[in-house]
Structure 1
């Protein structure tokens, strides 16, 4: 007996016999005639050709029937080829799918029974927020209300209704139905048919409880894998119980989204799940397919005017129960007639949710929402940049992201230290009432149009950053979250005032070798086209000031002169960009930018981060407050990428630290010396005040952390409130209390005793105190003079001090240098006498080094100096010396104050001369923002507070 042909050959032969084989020769059909007595064809002209004979082109049929026959033959061959090709493609696709599925199985970690049980039975499905070190903060209020109920406390009719409606083969399959999956795949690939997803109840449970929201083939494969695992480790009743506790059910009578049969029974029919009638059970069982369509309530908890769809869906469920033999025909007909309208629960108001950590809660959830929007856009093959350009598109994605955040168990791990954060809030509240006047006024409510009473207190934004990692450890967002949800630490941009000077002006100048710490800067009346800056209170010092003292006392004119010179040698933009401080090219062209005259300003977080660069030896670390985000399976879906970038060399940072340390010990922040609870010998900082005391800043760093504090009014209702004149002292007291609160929690985090070692690139040189240059000779009125003392130590990055010359400083005119040299050699000419460019002749409110608002006259202290004068025609010399003599002249120095009313810097007042009465100088001031444009504005840039 011959061996039987393989099955595929039998199929092919059968197909060929039925559709392709004929007893007719191709191309000669038109020449045949039927014999009248025989049931076959004969050829009158030639012998019958062999079957499938090759025919010449000229022998092709010319009749219509022949053409049709030829076309059908070609079509049959194409169909056969298509079928064979489809079978091959399906085989290839099946192989690839099998391999892909096996790869997923290999990658998916095997979870324990306990882990799976905890996940499928979990009813609290919303994002959880964490402090640093995995300390739980609070859960995002879920949009879905759930209440767990035991399996035996659920109506049998409800169980049967859900199974008959959602998965009638539930008790017969093993988690998946292959034909349903195959149908879903074909539908997905071709786009034809109903895209049901082929999901069983088990798969739906996996989708809701174990997986994220991404709609990918990988997620679908993982879903199938986990569904089979659930079926292996849990009974059908356990799986059904979990499903009934988490299935979406629309809205309740409070307008809340609900899930689970117990929540639905209470929120829709005001009863429990075990007391539901057949009609009620059928109504609830019909909700999961499309909760938003079939729910009887609107978003306010009132019965919708059109609930016909939900009632019809109830009847469909009843029919399926009847078809499945779960109820009798009489039960089916009786339940169909029940009108549930009167049984719906009455409307009730929704309870209000209270958020404890309001500012932090909003900060973290907004960041999570942004990440989810990016993820959703990526899944949709849409660029995030395009999403944020279109308001409607962005709103749609925001709603989707918000829903994911409230319906899925994400975990957001922040960098905020709970103890530090709590202590900072307490410290702020102790100072909140001392920040300034709370203004009461009336305004129009934009939502209602009604006139309402409003109050505007002085707001604060403070940010504490780890210098080495960029992690935000704590912050203060504002006065009262319940009154004002605006986060003043991260979301408001304010003018930086003088706090911009170290980053924009002095550090780049040191880095470029333009200045050393004792390089002289001109502080004389100057006008650059239409821009005429002044120091605080419209004053001009009329002298040359060392760079470190100019920064210490936050003088404006020296900063503008230095920035103007800096522009000639370098572009400060790259430095600012690397620190995260973005300014326009136009802003860089305006000299007022040297005093903080920005268009938009910076956030407190940006300022703190930029300033921390100096404490981190010139390396800027990108700030962040979210360490990682994980999904429901604890897979990391976001991890902060640490980004470090060198801005300044260590030598520059060392010099800047030294220069700004004196801001605390002798300068505009000297009041901190008696308020700090820790050793501040390695602490440095910078003050900042904008025009008319609109904004006040203090940014300070220890070796470990940087804390920035800003105070000011929001002026949300069109008012023009400014801070009080003593706002500098007020803000510094607040800063001191905040940093002390951090020290109380964790003293080590400040690293207060860690001193930065002096880099080898820093050169120390003795320079003339009066000129900032090397000792040397000069010619005055025909006499050659050698200057050798007094001297001071100047710090340079790589470069060295310049030789003595007539024009030894930066800025100033020839007349200013002549004024200096005349004064140096004994003439009384007004050098160093402060000028006031205002109508007031008597200043009565200048701050001394202790912070009191009083005018005072200090005794000038003269340092030792000696000079040798040579006559060009003689070798003889005369020496003159002054030994710390005290005079009763008013101070004409630039105001370095030691806190007791004495000027630490050698005065330029000539000894043994009559005292020159001048307006009391005290401490010179810190500047405010110069919003003026150099070429278009005539207003001068005023200075900020000199108060410590």
Structure 2
């Protein structure tokens, strides 16, 4: 440019005549003209390129958007004042979600003409002239957003705002804005301005009414603020309402107040300062006057009008009865999570990242919650209404027999105030369809009104001995380390500072088979086997993770984990789902409650896709089922064989109790279903209430009552007559009953002696029994244990198999056995025990006299001090909890209770409820 300018200057200096000047001037003008033309052309090219790139970018953002039909758009635009509807599996309605917004849809003709004029003048003065969007406003908004210069207007027309409210989420991404523009132009093409304006005025939010309720639509605003219909609003009232949508919570004259005591009472109060709302009203009036929608006289009169005297006096909102509270909360919570994942995915954000970022999580939570409560989604669940009612009625009738309800005082974690508290024994139960993973029914708790915490899905508790087959015995069989009759040592032992015992601080003082260990839930043999697993390099973690239970490496490194000594515990759903793996021949099916979700247009936006994972072989699963069948025929759950009103021939299960009777479990399965029941105290206020010593019997009676009622309601769910057929690959070996090895000879005191008097069958998947030997036939056995055994075997009375009691326990072995749930049936059972290993063959020949029943059961025990923290405090997200002691003592108990009739499901409550709250109300 500098050279060009110098050239022009020098050219003028060389002028000698006027003709010369004219020629030079014309040349200069031509040069300047060309420069200007080239510059304009360059600018146009750059502008075209920018527009092209912008158009391409918008096209790329909207290319994957499904183009809605006119009918679909109409349905979404007119879908106001609706919330999601929850359904049982048969299509019957659970309930409508409580609305965040109160409102009533009306036609445009039922609205004051002043109100329509006020909205257009305030929100979109070009409404009747544009085609859904205003390009200059969009560019201004983009420049403002990118540079931060200028007012953050958003550039949205009334059409765009309507589309955003009714057809899109509230996210603020460029993609959402591009889709909004695309849909706004499409809406403007198919619908009249009057239709769009009507949809906007019915969908917009207008703050809180005099009852503290959030309101939607001009009719609700007129009724909630002034107590009149929208058609009767004057100019000042219309202007005030029209000013609210820009910032409803700021301009509304009312505060929204929720009761601090139980979260169910809602009311409104006047704001001390209403000046911002009044200034906003005046701005609207001015815009109406500026756009010649009202005269100057009307403008001045409306400004002077005293609105405050027109506002309704604050009042209390009416309450709504929630009939199925636990289902209501569960489906709300799970659907919200599904919508959060969907929203994050549409933004290209991983949900795992959302969970890590508190602000991001709150953003998607709010978006999903808004959609859930304000759009007409239909949520179809797996819950069977008849089964749910039957199961919960039994829980309600029996709840008075679960244990003592403790009363006292405690400190509310939210307010810090001292409150009166009542601690009943809670119950959490789950009925699972093994094949599909569907949760057919559940019990969330004993009193929804007092505690909305879902004890089936949300509380994490120590699983006690119910974890043994999952974490120890199935992995051992899968890896060929044991057979069903492999012997395990049950003698006094210690692992550094960890010294487990059986129930009631007892020791069996003998060798017991793997089968009997599970049947009677002995602890010391289980710890010996878990320790052996680790020594052999077998990790239980890969099996547990595949079944949906994730524990830390620290927990797996502690031997007490096999007794339920977890740090945080597991939910009833997790434990039931993991246990169902055995019924499914070693395949784990992910459990679920939400089957599908449809949007207001009827389009399915979510459908559950089942996930199956092979965990154990079908051979291992068969052997475990075979062993666990003995639990319900002659072991710790033998009472079920006569309490159940259905054939238990194909029922298998496992009991479990944690430290000091803190938690009690029973999980039972047939081919069709798994039913898990847990009882225990929440101990929210750092109390240490424990169950009674007969809690095993109590929980089993509850389980049988629920199971009987469910079976009566729908026998097909149980499929009790389908037997577990032995698959190829499961081998049965004839073994010596006392050693678990092949029969054979040993040398005792210099004499070779044949050992074959008692034989039985041992089931193996991999491996086979060891040869008969003096030593090393039992896992965890020591030289002194073997000597004790053989001396007793050959007739010496030396205390072998006599139960030893440690500590200060004064109960007899028989009393402990009865508490533990064993020895109660004396063979009385309606179940045909088909497991091969229960058959004992006694040989009539022997080379040496000895006792003929060296493996008699002298007692049944299940307790022990496990390493790990051992949950049992009702821990849940958002709720206070009480940590258990650093042990995992494993207990099994029994007893009986009378019936209390209530005829209620226990989860009906009146009022607004907070989803997932874990606090108690008294």
Measured against the shorter chain, the TM-score band is 0.7 to 0.9
Contact 2:477/2:766, CA 8 A, preserved across alignment: no
1:74–1:700 distance in 2 versus 1, CA, 3 Å:
farther
Residue 600 (structure 1) shift: 2.0
Residue 671 (structure 1) shift: 0.5
Which aligned pairs between 1:739-754 and structure 2 lie closer than 5 A?
739-754=707-722
Equivalent in 874, 892, 904 of residue 944 of structure 1: 892
Equivalent in 53, 69, 72 of residue 110 of structure 1: 69
Equivalent in 31, 37, 47 of residue 87 of structure 1: 47
1:834 aligned partner:
803
1:38 aligned partner:
18
Equivalent position SS for 2:753: strand
Contact 1:460/1:478, CA 8 A, preserved across alignment: yes
Aligned-partner Cα distance in 2 for 1:82–1:76 = 10
Deviations 1:215-268 (A, max 9, x none): 456655654565566556655444433332222212212222112111111111
2:424 aligned partner:
457
1:95–1:666 distance in 2 versus 1, CA, 3 Å:
same
1:850–1:494 distance in 2 versus 1, CA, 3 Å:
closer
* Alignment length (residue pairs): 858
Aligned-partner Cα distance in 1 for 2:22–2:886 = 116
Residue 662 (structure 1) shift: 0.5
Equivalent position SS for 1:460: strand
Equivalent in 775, 786, 798 of residue 817 of structure 1: 786
Deviates more, 1:807-816 or 1:170-179: 170-179
1:166 aligned partner:
123
Unaligned runs of 5+ in 2: 258-267, 828-838, 871-884, 897-922
1:29 aligned partner:
9
Residue 191 (structure 1) shift: 6.5
Equivalent position SS for 2:770: coil
Contact 1:627/1:639, CA 8 A, preserved across alignment: yes
Residue 400 (structure 1) shift: 4.8
Residue 132 (structure 1) shift: 2.9
Which aligned pairs between 1:762-777 and structure 2 lie closer than 5 A?
762-777=730-745
1:6 aligned partner:
none
Residue 733 (structure 1) shift: 0.9
Deviates more, 1:149-158 or 1:682-691: 149-158
Contact 1:553/1:946, CA 8 A, preserved across alignment: no
Residue 389 (structure 1) shift: 4.8
- The reply on whether 1:541 has 2:487 as its aligned counterpart is no
Which aligned pairs between 1:170-209 and structure 2 lie closer than 5 A?
170-172=127-129, 175-176=132-133, 196-209=153-166
Equivalent in 62, 77, 93 of residue 136 of structure 1: 93
Aligned-partner Cα distance in 2 for 1:137–1:583 = 35
- The reply on whether 1:925 has 2:861 as its aligned counterpart is yes
Equivalent position SS for 1:508: helix
- The reply on whether 1:707 has 2:675 as its aligned counterpart is yes
1:97–1:400 distance in 2 versus 1, CA, 3 Å:
closer
Equivalent position SS for 1:812: coil
1:663–1:322 distance in 2 versus 1, CA, 3 Å:
same
Contact 2:746/2:752, CA 8 A, preserved across alignment: yes
Residue 448 (structure 1) shift: 5.1
1:21–1:546 distance in 2 versus 1, CA, 3 Å:
closer
Which aligned pairs between 1:251-266 and structure 2 lie closer than 5 A?
251-266=208-223
Residue 941 (structure 1) shift: 4.8
Deviations 1:497-535 (A, max 9, x none): 111110111111111111111111122222333322222
Equivalent position SS for 1:424: helix
Deviations 1:806-865 (A, max 9, x none): 12222222222122222222222222222222445662871667999999999xx99633
Instruction: Provide TM-score, normalisation by structure 1.
Output: 0.82
2:372 aligned partner:
405
Aligned-partner Cα distance in 2 for 1:924–1:237 = 81
Residue 93 (structure 1) shift: 3.6
- The reply on whether 1:426 has 2:393 as its aligned counterpart is yes
Residue 435 (structure 1) shift: 0.3
Deviates more, 1:598-607 or 1:236-245: 236-245
Aligned-partner Cα distance in 2 for 1:782–1:922 = 31
Contact 1:161/1:282, CA 8 A, preserved across alignment: yes
Residue 711 (structure 1) shift: 0.8
Residue 464 (structure 1) shift: 2.0
Contact 2:760/2:840, CA 8 A, preserved across alignment: no
Instruction: Provide TM-score, normalisation by structure 2.
Output: 0.84
Equivalent position SS for 2:619: helix
RMSD, matched Cα: 3.9
1:42–1:209 distance in 2 versus 1, CA, 3 Å:
closer
Contact 2:696/2:820, CA 8 A, preserved across alignment: no
Larger Rg: 1
Unaligned runs of 5+ in 1: 1-19, 53-68, 870-877, 885-905, 910-920
1:190–1:691 distance in 2 versus 1, CA, 3 Å:
closer
User: Relative contact order, CA 8 A, sep 6+: which one is greater?
Assistant: 2
2:918 aligned partner:
none
Residue 269 (structure 1) shift: 1.4
1:385–1:785 distance in 2 versus 1, CA, 3 Å:
same
Contact 1:180/1:198, CA 8 A, preserved across alignment: yes
Residue 661 (structure 1) shift: 0.4
Aligned-partner Cα distance in 1 for 2:172–2:745 = 81
Equivalent position SS for 2:102: strand
1:120–1:74 distance in 2 versus 1, CA, 3 Å:
closer
Equivalent in 296, 302, 314 of residue 329 of structure 1: 296
2:635 aligned partner:
667
